[in-house]
Chain A
Amino acid sequence: MGNHSDGSPNHSGTVATAGQNEVEKFQDPGIPPHRLRLADTDPRAAKRAERQVALLFGISVVGTLIFLVAYFAIDLGDGSSIATIRLQNALLGIGTAFAMLGIGTGIVHWAKALMPDHEVSEERHGIRTEEDRLAAVRIVDDIVEETGIKRRPLIRNTLLGAVALAPLPALAVFGDLGPRPDDKLAHTMWAPAGGKLKRLTRDPDGTPIKATDVTIGSAFHVIPEGLNELHEGKLNAKAKAVVLLMRLNPDSLKPSAGREDWSYNGIVAYSKICTHVGCPVALYEQQTHHLLCPCHQSTFDLTQECKVIFGPASRPLPQLPIAVDAEGYLVATSDFHEPVGPSYWERDEHERTVNS
């Protein structure tokens, strides 16, 4: 480490200066001499700058007028098209911009061209004086001493305990912000109600889907029968129950043990809610049989029971067991066999309960 210009490291080790010798340093030449502007020496230039400032302020007035005209002359009636709104928006923008930029640039130009531009130097004063500092430290010491908190540990400790516990009621109050989760996340609307299996219906109109409607390569966005008729909590139910329905060549499906009868003729249904953080897995790549989540690009392979093949998800999409009813419509034979959507602390427990 050969430093040409610095001395040996400062052995006092208090301040990381370069060890420069004062003699060797360039001396501060001070503030450079003031340079006069054109407007300082030439009255005509000053007059010109004055007119420019006035012109900018005048532009601001024009901008204000543009705004007012655009606001009152363009009426947003019932028949107004989006083009009218765009026009008004643009004019309001131009008007405000001129009004504001006129004032702003005018003032800045005024300051730069005409106001005195002598740089001045001002001493910095210490943030505090040594006298104040000593007094403050003494005051704090005195206050602590007078409370006697050091001599009376009983008071100190009980106070600490009381203060530590005091926020608990506030936490308790927040406990009623919502209901307890219980096992709400473990169930969806697909569970058969009153012994009747739920039909798979189209999202959003709710018309049932016949197995024969589903051609190879097609995909349907599916909601459970009865969702649209819900009066309360429709979005909550929908957020868990949405399903993607696709038909593949039955040979390309290799169902694992226990899932052999979950599909019908190559038609499979999977939860549309990503197991990563819950976006709808809305993109179906027909050629590769991949499902892609547009939010974080988790990719699931339909032919491997929606195993994750790319991206941040860690778990396959849950499969909905389906069959065909007497009229040829697709129905869900049961609820999902695991909670849908993103993982949560109690998820494994819920999965075991659902399957037992």
Chain B
Amino acid sequence: MSAPSTAEAPAFVAKTKGGSITDFVDQRVGGSGILREFGRKVFPDHWSFMFGEVALYSFVILLMSGTFLTFFFDPSMVETHYAGSYTPLKNVEMSAAFNSSLNISFDVRGGLFMRQVHHWAALLFVASIGVHMLRVFFTGAFRKPREMNWVVGGVLLILAMAEGFTGYSLPDDLLSGNGLRIIDGVIKAIPVIGTYISFFLFGGEFPGTAIIGRLYMLHILLVPALILLMIVLHLFMVVVHKHTQYPGPGRNDGNVVGYPLGPVYAAKAGGFFFIVFGVIALMAGFFTINPIWNYGPYDPSPVSAGTQPDWYIGFVDGALRLMPGVIGNFHFEYVIFGHVLTLNVLLPALVPAGIIFTVLFTYPWIERWITKDNREHHVLDRPRNAPTRTAIGVAGFTWYCVMWAAASSDLIATNFHVSLNDVTYWLRALFFIGPVIAFFVTKRVALALQRKDREIALHGRETGRIVRLPHGEFIEVHAPLSEYKRYKLVGFESPAPLPAVPNEHGIVDRKEKRRAMLSRLFFEDRVAPATPAELEAAHGHHEAIESAEAQKTLSH
């Protein structure tokens, strides 16, 4: 128990070794204030808080494995002939980049392992950011005062995707080369400057000899530096705001309930780094990822069937697949004033991603405008207690997933033995109706769960014990909840719609009317938390389960 306590006067001589080391450092750099502030800082604990940690730890692993790879990787497109130990490619003409990637895989001891760790960690990095953002969205953690940190998180997601894509292209293999060619095709579709951007990016015509070196610089310097900067900002704001907590007994917007940073929280979070590392190492050891030796060097002529980008680019690729180039006799590519407008590429490449990121970045402000809720929130919402927000989130997620699935339309068709065209037609339909269905189903499920919570709060949990009453009626005995468990089910807010309010000139303007309409959409269907009076009433008529059914307060 040598927990350093440094609050004492400088004349104090620490009795423990840990204490004296702390004192030594403190007398030179003065860290005692920081330690006093953070050493025992309380952190709330919940399994869903670990996704952000996974992202952070994946990034650390990426930095470590990536550094190893740079020692051996040659980002050059100079032509060379393979002379390494993988015989099927002996003497094949390839770029120095692909050659060195093969050498890392087959001739550097542990190189293949490092490549696989790096690639798996990259996939996990983007995935954990995505899941973390879903958690933050569904629990309302983006609300005041954390809107700016939500935006920083969104920027991190984009940077992570950019980092992933630039890295994916570096080995200069057939698969990633075709990916680059698709990017080139999309860039060329940009009006007015597209052709120029393409030529400037590739240093001339595709593929040229410059792109790998340029992507390499972006991949190992610029983008990681930006990611690091954003992570620092992100964590700084987490410290400023303190962590959010889930609702429950003893938790409110004015406190933080959890474990102190030292030792419990630090041990759990620190230990978790090793667990993430271990899981990535297992995947890297057993599951082959990106076997570039099977793809071969980049050549503009061949392509393998079932080509796919890494998963996080999939939704854009899927959107490209879903867009029809021709409907009836209408061609989405048409000539306007002698110039070509390629809407069949531009629309799917820009519009869905544009909508997703615009809504993502602006959502905290949209919701704040609708609810007029300017308070600080440190207690999270259970997703069911914000049915409309949850429904919006699931609708957006469904939309994303439809596009993502479309990036595998050919594999779906071959694996399930269905027609490729039918898969595309279905996905095109789902692209439009999927989010709508998801919205309504989710909202109903959330409201139903709220009603279930009310039921349990008022009548207790079902024990499964059936009792026959003297007059012959059968009832199931319900066991009452403890007040702590009950508070978790009833301690939430259920805002009512906020009607339009006249502004300072006494006029209800159109914007305010629109806001009121959205507020009605948000909160018209609501379940109010159970109240003590209702609990009293429920106890009074405990035998009358039927009448309690009728008391459900779903208004519609």
A contact set with B: CB distance below 8 Å: 1-6, 9-10, 13-20, 24-26, 28-32, 71, 76-80, 82, 85, 88-94, 96-108, 110-112, 115-117, 119-124, 127, 174-175, 177-181, 184-185, 203-204, 221, 223, 233, 235-236, 238-240, 242, 272-273, 276-280, 282-283, 294-298, 308, 310-315, 341-349
Chain A residues whose CB sits within 8 angstroms of the CB of B260 once the complex forms: 120
Q: Are B250 and A31 in contact (CB under 8 A)?
A: yes
Can you give 11 A-B contacts (C-beta < 8 A)?
A96-B113, A100-B274, A112-B268, A119-B250, A119-B258, A120-B257, A122-B41, A178-B202, A179-B204, A238-B300, A310-B424
Given A101-B278, A342-B188, is A124 in contact with B253 using a C-beta cutoff of 8 Å? yes
Q: Which residue of B lies closest to A203 (CB)?
A: B301
Given A3-B496, A177-B203, A312-B325: A106 touches B271 (CB 8 Å cut-off): yes
> Which of B200, B206, B208, B267 is the one whose CB lies under 8 Å from A174?
B200
CB atoms of A242 and B320 under 8 A apart: no
> What 6 A-B pairs are tightest by C-beta distance, nearest first?
A93-B285, A277-B185, A104-B274, A107-B271, A31-B250, A101-B278
Given A15-B375, A181-B196, A344-B195: A312 in contact with B182 (beta carbons within 8 A): no
**Stretch from B163-171, B226-234, B338-346, B393-401 contacting the other chain:** B338-346
Q: Which residue of B lies closest to A3 (CB)?
A: B555
Given A121-B255, A342-B342, are A178 and B203 neighbors across the interface (CB < 8 Å)?
yes
Residues of A within 8 A of B217 (CB): none
Say what secondary structure dominates the interface of chain B. Answer: mixed
Shortest beta-carbon distance, B104 to chain A, in Å? 12
User: Does B501 count as interface, using CB distance less than 8 angstroms?
Assistant: yes
Please tell me which one of the listed residues A4, A238, A239, A282 contacts residue B551 in the complex, with CB atoms under 8 A apart. Answer: A4
Q: A184: shortest Cβ distance to chain B, in Å?
A: 6
A343 to B284, CA, bound (A): 40
Residue of B nearest to A184 (CB): B205
B501's partner among A13, A273, A297 (CB-CB below 8 A) is A13
Q: Which of B185, B372, B530 contacts A342 (CB 8 A)?
A: B185
Interface size on B, residues (CB 8 A): 145
Given A279-B178, A312-B348, does the pair A297, B409 have CB atoms closer than 8 Å?
A: yes
The contact of B372 among A16, A80, A89, A345, by CB within 8 Å, is A16
In contact, A108 and B305 (Cβ under 8 angstroms): no
Among B193, B371, B526, which residue has the most Cβ atoms of chain A within 10 A? B526
B484 pairs with A29, CB closer than 8 A:
yes
> CB-defined interface of B395-437 with A at 8 Å, one 1/0 digit per residue?
0000000000000011000000000110010000000000000
- For A120, give its contact among B259, B267, B270, B331 (CB under 8 Å): B259
Give me the interface of B with A, judged by CB distance under 8 Å: 41-42, 85-86, 105-107, 109-110, 112-113, 116-117, 145, 178, 181-182, 184-186, 188-196, 198-208, 210, 240-242, 249-250, 252-260, 263-264, 267-268, 270-279, 281-286, 298-307, 317, 320-326, 331-333, 335, 338-340, 342, 344-345, 348, 371-375, 378, 409-410, 420-421, 424, 482-484, 486-487, 490-491, 493-499, 501, 519, 523-524, 526, 528-534, 551, 553, 555-556
| Interchain CB contact under 8 A, B255 and A76 | no
Which residues of chain B come closer than 8 Å to A17, judged between CB atoms? 493, 495
Q: Are A96 and B277 in contact (CB under 8 A)?
A: yes
B residues within 8 A CB of A24?
A: 531-533
Q: Which residue of B lies closest to A72 (CB)?
A: B109
Q: Which residues of A contact B196 (CB under 8 A)?
A: 180-181
Of the residues A19, A110, A119, A297, contact of B267 by C-beta under 8 Å: A110
B498 touches A85 (CB 8 A): no
Task: Name the residue in B274, B284, B498 with the highest tally of chain A Cβ atoms < 10 Å from its Cβ.
Answer: B274
> A26–B532 contact, CB under 8 A?
yes
**Which B residues are in CB contact (< 8 Å) with A96?**
113, 117, 277-278, 281, 284-285
Asked if B498 contacts A32 (CB within 8 A), the reply is no
CB distance from B377 to the nearest CB of A (A): 11
**Best-surrounded residue of B241, B345, B348, B523 (most CB of chain A within 10 A):** B345
- Kindly list chain B residues whose C-beta atoms are within 8 Å of the C-beta of A240: 205
What chain B residues lie within 8 Å of A312 (beta carbons)? Answer: 320-325, 344-345, 348
B495 touches A314 (CB 8 A): no
The reply to whether A111 and B277 form a contact with Cβ atoms under 8 Å apart is no
Is B204 within 8 A of A13, CB to CB?
no
Q: Are A236 and B204 in contact (CB under 8 A)?
A: yes
Picked from A82, A115, A272, the residue with its CB within 8 Å of the CB of B301 is A272
Cα A123 to Cα B252 with chains together (Å) = 10
Contact of B201 among A15, A98, A177, A238 (CB under 8 A): A177
Q: How far is the CA of A81 from the CA of B421 in the complex (A)?
A: 42
B495 A343 Cβ-Cβ under 8 A: no
Determine the chain B residues whose CB is within 8 A of the CB of A276 once the complex forms.
Answer: 185, 320, 325, 344-345
Q: Known: A16-B495, A115-B263. Is A123-B110 also a contact (CB below 8 A)?
A: no
Given that A26-B531, A120-B258 are known contacts, is A111 also in contact with B321, CB under 8 Å in the complex?
no
A4 touches B553 (CB 8 A): yes
